[in-house]
Structures are given as structure tokens and as C-alpha cells.
Structure 1
Amino acid sequence: MVSYRKRGNAWQYEISYKDRDGRYRKLRKSGFLLKSEAILAASKIQTEHPNLTTVKSGNESIVSYYKRWIKVYKQNAVTPITYNKYENTAKHAAELFGNLKLKDLTKFIYQERLNQFAKSHARRTVSCFHKQLRACLLEALDEKIITTDPTRKAVITGTERPKIARALNYADWIKLLLNLDTTQIGEMIIYLAAVTGMRYGEIVGLTINDINLEMHTLNVDKAWDYKYKTGFMKTKTPSSVREITVDSHTVSKLKNFIKIHSLSTNQPLFMDSKGHVLVSAEINKILTNKLNILKIPRITFHGLRHTHASILLYKGVSVLSVSRRLGHSNITTTQSTYLHIIKELESQDQDKIISILENTSK
């Protein structure tokens, strides 16, 4: 039921309705110069919000609604790691939108804040943020809390990361290995990555029990969740479970490292005395500083894996063996990742074939 009355020089509408608990409520708004304006506004409210409780819901902040949404729809439906990503989005949303209400969010405001976020984040991060927040706002649209989609046709941008070399050449690889202090946790991690091609989570997931010093092998059957700190977890794929052979120099360095550091058999090999395992940003910083000191082109930590694989291929190790050492799910993954190297080696092989055939006619 709608009623109108004049208050001073302005008109007001009053809509009576029942809330979700069956109790009568009143929705009022005044400030209209003409009665016709009040009638039009009330009609619009009733059209857009047949269930008038959603009008009140529009007063909830975007961040508050998002937090409730992830708790109801995501907490028990996704992995703890994925849920942590949703929680990170909530933190970013709080910084960008503050106490802005759902009903006050427009396409312009959304794009403006998204652009602000993009100034200090990579395009991929911005895209993930937008995807998660948009899913929540579409739910608000379905509930008729908002009447239009403020995220529609949003433009995704982001900062361009400086180009970094994919891998080290053989000379720089050797130079790095010879100048690492493998008694230090960070530099020993870097050394292992360079000589095994293991993923970071696999390396920091190693325990003393995974190291067979007599057989010169490392057993990879788990990883460590260094990012979200949930402890040991499964390897990236079932094929990532493998045994990696290492050389005598690596065995010697591991023996020395274990001797220096007091370690229990079931804790990660590279966990410090305070129970902390370096996160990716920390190990990349250590690696970058080391490369700067040695005047070697900068690569990421993952670039050590590419370096290891590239050197093995250039030195004549078969693609199949490299694939198994890296823990790829199939040889096709290795071939596609290192196609440029394989093509270069094939070209060299063609020269060898011609040379062999020509020598047979002499």
C-alpha cells in the first residue's frame, strides 16, 4: 500500500510492506517538489523491487555483502587455498570500495576503482579480482538488491611486468652454482632447483626422510603449501611423484646442510628455527640479489627449472628423460615447453646426419 503526503514544501511517499518475518514495515522517502515525482519514484521502487526487503538490503556495503556471499557459497565448496584467494579479494575490495553501499555502486565507480587496482597489479591479478567480485554482484542482481550489473563490459588492464630472461646460459648457470653458500637455507634451495629442476613447493616439501644419501636420490612425493601455509599437500600432478638422481657434489652439500641445521625427520628440510618456510617472494628476492652481485641476467626462481631442463637438452639428454626428471604429466608437455630448443637440436642433428652420409662415400 502506498500513501502520499505533503511535508512543508515537499512531497513524501510511504510504502507499507511485510518483511521476511511477516512484520509490517514502512519505506519512506521525501524531498519531491511535485506529487507526480513522488508517485513516479514510488512506482519505480515497486517495479524494481517487488519484494521490498531488497531495498533495505541495498544499504549493505559491497564488502559486507561479499564476505557473507563467500561464506555461504564458497567456504564449504572450494579448497582452503581457493577460499583464501576469495578472502584476499575481500581485503582488496575493502581498500577500494570502503563502506560504499550496494545501491550506490555504478558502472563508472566500479571501472574507476578497477583502474585504481590495476595501477599496482598485473593484468592477471586484476582479472581474478574482477571475476570473483563480479560473481558476487551478479548474485545481488539475481536477488534484485541491485537493478543493473555494474560490472558489465568492465575493461581489464594491469601493469606490465619488466621482461625477465627465461633461463640462464650454461656459463652463468655454472657461475651461480660455484658462488652459492649452501649452508644458508635460501641459497641451498636455489642450488637444488638449479641441479634438479624441481618446483619450489617440491623443494620446500622435502624432509630428511626424502633424502637417500647412499643412493644419491631425492624422493618427491609431496609438496609444501608455502603460500597459504596449510602444511604438506599433494604434488601438482600424480606424475610429479618421482625419484630424482643427484650428483656427488649435491650429496656432499646436503650432508653438510643437515649437519649444520638441527632438523627433525618429519619437518620440512628448509623450515627455519622459528617454523617459517620462505615464500616465493622471499626466495625470488634472494635469487635476484645473488644474480645482481654476480652480474648475471635476472631470472625468476621458476627460471632455474627452465635452465636445468634447457641445459640437459643441449647436452644431449633425451626429451623423455628430461620429462620424467621434471615430473611432467607427459612428454608432450616437455616438447611444447622447450620446442625452440628441440628445433635447434634437430637442426644440428640434420647436419650430423649429412656429415655421416657424406663420409660413407669416401
Structure 2
Amino acid sequence: MVSYRKRGKVWQYEISYKDLDGGYKKLRKSGFRLKSDAELAASQVKSLYADVRQFKAGEIPLSVYFERWITLYKRNSVSDVTFIKYENTLHHIRKIFGQMPLKDITRTVYQERLNVFARDHAPRTVSAFHKQIRAALLDALDEHIISSDPTRKAVVTGIAVHRPKKALDFGEWRTLIHHLHPDSVPEMMIYIAAVTGMRYAEILGLTPADIDWHTATLNITKTWDYKYHTGFKKTKNKSSVRKVALDQRSLRLLREYTVGHPATPTTPLFLIDGHALVSAEINQVLTARLSSLGLPRVTFHGLRHTHASILLYQGVSVLSVSKRLGHSSITTTQSTYLHIIKELEAKDTDKILKILDQA
């Protein structure tokens, strides 16, 4: 219902509406010189917003709308881990947008705030942040809560990320594994990664029961959730459930480690006082050790690439490497290590030509 009244020399419109919570409220605006001006403004509000409650919703902060949106559309439709990512976005929205109403977020304002977030985040992180906000605001646009999309044509930037070397060469790898201490939890984890190519979560998921001393193998059947602390989890895919053979030196070092770090058969081998190191912590240890040895920096995941690269260069078949790494298919291995495979093919071509020349 709309009513008009003259207040002094100007006109005011008043729209009665039911609030989002069901209570009746009024929306007023004055300052119109003529009644017809007030009528036109009121009609524009009603034409832009099918329901005046939606117009009022445009005055709520982005953080409030986003929180309602993820509760309604995401809480029961995504995994707990994914929902935590939405909650992290909400946390940053509160810091960057404050109490700014939805209706005040223009394309310029949105870009400014996105740039603020990008000052200390990598482009990939900024892109994920932008993608989640955009999804929510597009729904707000569909509901006529806002009249335009402030995220349209937003430019995603971010700080340059220094990329460490992807993998060590054979000599660097040998230097590393021969200078790691088997009595140290993080250094033993680094050693296992270097000689098996196992993923970080897979190593954390190892228990004494997973070591087969007779066949010298590790049975990989599960992982450990080091990010959100939910305990044991399934492996990345079915192919990740596998047996990884160990050499005798590695088996001996692992035995020494288990003697010094006794655990029940089903307790993870590499927890420190019940706490699993997060990836940043293990990478700090690895970086320090590499630096002390004068070796180039690689990430913990880079040890997996190192292991695979060394095996391929030493003539191990792509199929065997793929199975050892637990890839879902040999295609994954081929695409990941295409540059190495091409180098090996070139060497094989030279061998073939030499053979033919001797015929």
C-alpha cells in the first residue's frame, strides 16, 4: 500500500510492507517538489522490485545476505570441507565490506574491495573468493534484491607466487635422503615421501598395521585429514588403494623409527602429541633441511614429482610409475610427466637409429 503526504513544501511517499521476518513496516522517502514526482519515484521502486521486502533487503549488509545464502543453499548440499571454504569467504567479506548494504555495492566499489583482498592473496585464491560472492549476488539479482550485477567484468588479480623448483634431480634427491634423521617425525615423513612418492595425507594415514615387514610393503588404504581434523578419510580414488614396495634401507629406517615412536596398531605413525602437522609446517621443515644442504627448494608435494621423475629417467615404465603413485589412470601420469616422457622418447629414437645404422 502506498500513500502520499505533503511535509512543508515537499512531498513524501510511504509504502507499507511486510518485513522479511513477517512484521509490518514502512518505507518512506521525502524531498519531492511535486506529488507527481513522489508518485513516479514510488512506482519505480515497485517496478524495480516486485516485493518491497526485497527492496528493503537491499539495505542489509553483503555479509548478512551471504551468510543467509550459504545457510540456505550450501549447508546441506556441499561437503563439510567445502562449506568451511564458504565460511572463510564470509569471514573475509565481513572484514573487507564491513556493514556496506547490498544496494551500495557498485561495480567500482566491488572492484576496489576485490583489489584489497588481492593485495595479500594469490590469484587462484582471489578467483575462488570472487566466484563464491558472484554466485550469491547473481541470486540476489534474480530475486530483484539488487538491480544490477556489481561483479560483472570484475578483474581478478593477486600477488605473484614464487614457484619453487618442481622436483629435485637424482643427485639432489640422494643428498637429501642420506641426510634425514629417522628419529625425527617430520624428517621421517619427508624421507617416506622421497622414496615412495606417497601423498602427504597418505603418509599421515599410515599406522603400524599398514607396514608388512615380511613383504617389505606399505599398505595404503586411507588418509588422514590434516586440514579439518576429522580423522581417517578415504583415499583420493580407488586406484590410490595400493601396496608400495620399500627397499631394505628404507625398511630398516622405518623399523628404527617405530621402535623410537611406539604406537598402537591403528594409531597414525606421524602424529606429534596427537597433532598432525599441516602442510605449511612440514614445508617449513623441508625448506630448512634443503637450505642447510645447499639444495634448491621444492615443496613436500614436489618430493612426489621427484620420485616419479627419477623412476622414469631410470627406465621404469610409465604404467609401473602410475600404479606406484596411485594415479586414477595412466593418462594422468602421462599428462603430468609429458616433458620427461618426450625426453625419453628422444633418447629411444637415438638408440633405434644407432641399432639400424649397425645393421
When normalised by structure 1's length, the TM-score is 0.94
Alpha-carbon distance in structure 2 between the residues aligned to 1:24 and 1:80:
37
Structure 2 CA distance for partners of 1:260 and 1:20, relative to 1, 3 Å: closer
Match of 1:340 in 2: 339
Match of 1:355 in 2: 354
Report the residue type matching 2:63 in the other structure: V
| Residues 172-187 of structure 1 aligned to structure 2 (within 5 Å) | 172-187=172-187
Structure 2 CA distance for partners of 1:313 and 1:17, relative to 1, 3 Å: closer
Match of 2:101 in 1: 101
- Alpha-carbon distance, 1:323 to partner: 0.9
Alpha-carbon distance in structure 2 between the residues aligned to 1:66 and 1:18:
22
Structure 2 CA distance for partners of 1:220 and 1:21, relative to 1, 3 Å: closer
Match of 2:165 in 1: 165
| Residues 321-336 of structure 1 aligned to structure 2 (within 5 Å) | 321-336=320-335
Match of 2:44 in 1: 44
Structure 2 CA distance for partners of 1:350 and 1:25, relative to 1, 3 Å: closer
Structure 1 range deviating more: 5-14 or 65-74: 5-14
Match of 1:196 in 2: 196
Structure 1 vs Structure 2: percent identity of aligned residues? Answer: 58
Alpha-carbon distance in structure 1 between the residues aligned to 2:169 and 2:18:
73
Alpha-carbon distance in structure 1 between the residues aligned to 2:343 and 2:181:
34
Counterpart secondary structure, 2:161: coil
- How many correspondences in the alignment? 359
Counterpart secondary structure, 2:283: helix
Match of 2:258 in 1: 258
Counterpart secondary structure, 2:339: helix
Match of 1:281 in 2: 280
Match of 1:213 in 2: 213
Report the residue type matching 1:108 in the other structure: T
| CA-to-aligned-CA distance 1:40-76 (integer Å, 9 cap, x gap) | 3222211112211112222221111111111111111
Counterpart secondary structure, 1:224: strand
Aligned: 1:294 with 2:293: yes
- Alpha-carbon distance, 1:93 to partner: 1.1
- Alpha-carbon distance, 1:301 to partner: 1.1
Aligned Cα RMSD in Å?
1.8
When normalised by structure 2's length, the TM-score is 0.95
Counterpart secondary structure, 2:219: strand
Match of 1:313 in 2: 312
| Residues 137-148 of structure 1 aligned to structure 2 (within 5 Å) | 137-148=137-148
- Alpha-carbon distance, 1:292 to partner: 1.3
- Alpha-carbon distance, 1:272 to partner: 1.1
Alpha-carbon distance in structure 2 between the residues aligned to 1:193 and 1:24:
64
- Alpha-carbon distance, 1:16 to partner: 2.6
- Alpha-carbon distance, 1:297 to partner: 1.0
Report the residue type matching 1:100 in the other structure: M
Alpha-carbon distance in structure 2 between the residues aligned to 1:314 and 1:246:
19
Structure 2 CA distance for partners of 1:149 and 1:247, relative to 1, 3 Å: same
Report the residue type matching 1:112 in the other structure: E
Counterpart secondary structure, 2:188: helix
Match of 2:246 in 1: 246
Report the residue type matching 1:351 in the other structure: D
Counterpart secondary structure, 1:130: helix
- Alpha-carbon distance, 1:187 to partner: 0.8
Structure 2 CA distance for partners of 1:115 and 1:23, relative to 1, 3 Å: closer
- Alpha-carbon distance, 1:354 to partner: 2.9
Structure 1 range deviating more: 247-256 or 7-16: 7-16
- Alpha-carbon distance, 1:97 to partner: 0.8
Alpha-carbon distance in structure 1 between the residues aligned to 2:45 and 2:196:
65
Structure 1 range deviating more: 115-124 or 236-245: 115-124
- Alpha-carbon distance, 1:170 to partner: 0.8
- Alpha-carbon distance, 1:251 to partner: 1.0
Structure 2 CA distance for partners of 1:23 and 1:113, relative to 1, 3 Å: closer
Alpha-carbon distance in structure 2 between the residues aligned to 1:222 and 1:20:
47
Counterpart secondary structure, 2:275: coil
| CA-to-aligned-CA distance 1:139-159 (integer Å, 9 cap, x gap) | 222222212111111111122
Structure 2 CA distance for partners of 1:22 and 1:243, relative to 1, 3 Å: closer
| CA-to-aligned-CA distance 1:286-316 (integer Å, 9 cap, x gap) | 1111111111111111111111011111111
| Unmatched runs of 5 consecutive residues or more in structure 1 | none
Report the residue type matching 2:300 in the other structure: F
Counterpart secondary structure, 1:76: coil
Alpha-carbon distance in structure 2 between the residues aligned to 1:118 and 1:94:
16
Structure 2 CA distance for partners of 1:329 and 1:41, relative to 1, 3 Å: same
